[in-house]
Amino acid sequence: MDSDIMTVERTISAPPEQIFALLSDAGRHQGFDGSGTVRGTRAESRPLTLGTTFGMAMHMGVGYRTSNTVVEFEQDRRIAWKTTGLKGLVGGRIWRYELEPVEGGTLVKESWDVSQDKQKFFLKRSKMPAATKNGMRRTLERIAEAVER
């Protein structure tokens, strides 16, 4: 991984508002996660806004929990959250979704931004970027399946 930010994109046949409603509901993240690591939220399902913090139960070899804070928010266009663990001792990566209306639907860009991650040096040199990219592609497929019905 040469850059601190990895992005995948896909055009989805649905309006940005419908896709954003899915992305901005932490209670629905497990349903479209393509990595297989998200096990569920620790809070009731409610719309996320700038500054909202929400927890997630995760599993990657072992179970763990993350704390996520919405750090970017533009209604129906962009949402991003920073993920940390162990009370902020690890993590710092940002998951970002950008939505752009296009003919026939919405161009959805998902980014994995490790520019602020405390383990950036190791993450970028591991097998994690390739696995993450594959998971991101599957995530966009699952989002499409959820909203194109």
For position 41, what pLDDT does the model report?
72
Percent of the chain with pLDDT over 90: 40
Residues 126-144 have pLDDT tens digits of 777 788 888 889 989 989 9
CA distances from 15 to 48, 74, 76, 104 (A): 19, 15, 9, 9
- Answer whether residue 39 shows pLDDT above 60: no
CATH node for 5-147: 3.30.530.20
0.85 surpassed by pTM: yes
**What are the sequence ranges of the domains in the chain?**
5-147
Sheet holding 53-60, edge to edge: 5-12, 105-113, 90-102, 78-85, 62-74, 53-60, 38-41
